[in-house]
């Protein structure tokens, strides 16, 4: 096929509303050459709409492909990280939980020069963290289940799902539903930057151990011991 024939065919295909990439599959020319040949070829409104729709569809396919690759990459990274941890000893669980309490637990406060005692209390919304802390209390420190109490902190806008929230925390902790009757309601802020407002919002759970002031002081000593030995 001569260059003249290629040009004529390219122009005819363009008039039919084909895109440059579609024409290049039929006409073996450089894209720059094709641009010169077709710059004076006008397209009808339906043809322009078709090309626009094809560009949008192509962009969406590209976006979906990127999303799929990102999800696959995230899954691979997490799987590798999980395998890196390996079995956890009782000592490691003990240290992990002391560190969790260091970050999230209630401590003694100094008021007028005197330390005011506090029970062991920890609040969080992360199910993994809550399970880890409870395993430490029950399996490592052998706290009686009867001494552990719970309180739910929930935004007022989630009143309609209170039963669901109670079931959620019962399943996470392994404690019966009757242990989750105490609820503190948090006033809702209309303009909020909180991200936990959807279907997966189950509020905050507070774990408290009765008669545990001295236990809290011992945890404070363990925290100091970790700091000293770092």
What are the pLDDT digits (tens) for 57-108?
888 888 888 889 999 999 999 999 999 999 999 999 999 999 999 999 999 8
Check: CB of residue 186 under 8 Å from CB of residue 157.
no
pLDDT score, position 45: 63
pLDDT score, position 4: 79
Entry pTM: 0.68
- pLDDT tens per residue, range 164-189: 999 999 999 999 999 999 999 998 66
Total residues belonging to the chain: 230
Strands (E), the chain: 109-111, 114-116, 120-124, 148-155, 183-186, 204-209
Of residues 183 and 15, more confidently modeled:
183
123 — pLDDT class (breaks 50, 70, 90):
very high
Sign of CA dihedral 194, 198, 199, 200: negative
In the chain, the N- to C-terminal Cα span, in Å, equals: 78
């Amino acid at each position: 096929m001569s260059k003249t024939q290629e040009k004529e065919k390219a122009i005819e295909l363009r008039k039919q509303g084909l895109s440059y990439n579609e024409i290049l599959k039929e006409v073996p020319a450089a894209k720059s050459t094709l641009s010169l040949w077709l710059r004076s070829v006008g397209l009808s409104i339906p043809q322009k709409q078709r090309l626009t729709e094809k560009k949008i569809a192509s962009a969406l396919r590209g976006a979906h492909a990127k999303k799929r690759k990102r999800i696959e990459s995230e899954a691979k990274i997490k799987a590798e990280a999980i395998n890196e941890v390996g079995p956890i000893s009782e000592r490691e669980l003990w240290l992990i939980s002391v560190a969790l309490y260091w970050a999230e637990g209630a401590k003694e406060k100094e008021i007028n020069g005197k330390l005011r005692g506090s029970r062991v209390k920890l609040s969080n919304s992360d199910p993994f963290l809550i399970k880890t802390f409870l395993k430490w209390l029950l399996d490592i420190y052998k706290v009686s289940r009867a001494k552990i109490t719970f309180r739910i902190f929930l935004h007022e806008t989630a009143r309609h799902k209170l039963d669901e929230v109670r079931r959620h925390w019962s399943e996470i902790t392994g404690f019966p539903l009757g242990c989750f009757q105490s609820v503190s309601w948090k006033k809702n802020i209309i303009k909020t930057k909180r991200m936990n407002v959807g279907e997966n919002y189950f509020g905050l759970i507070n774990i408290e151990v009765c008669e545990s002031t001295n236990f809290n002081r011992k945890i404070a000593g363990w925290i100091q011991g970790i700091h000293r030995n770092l």
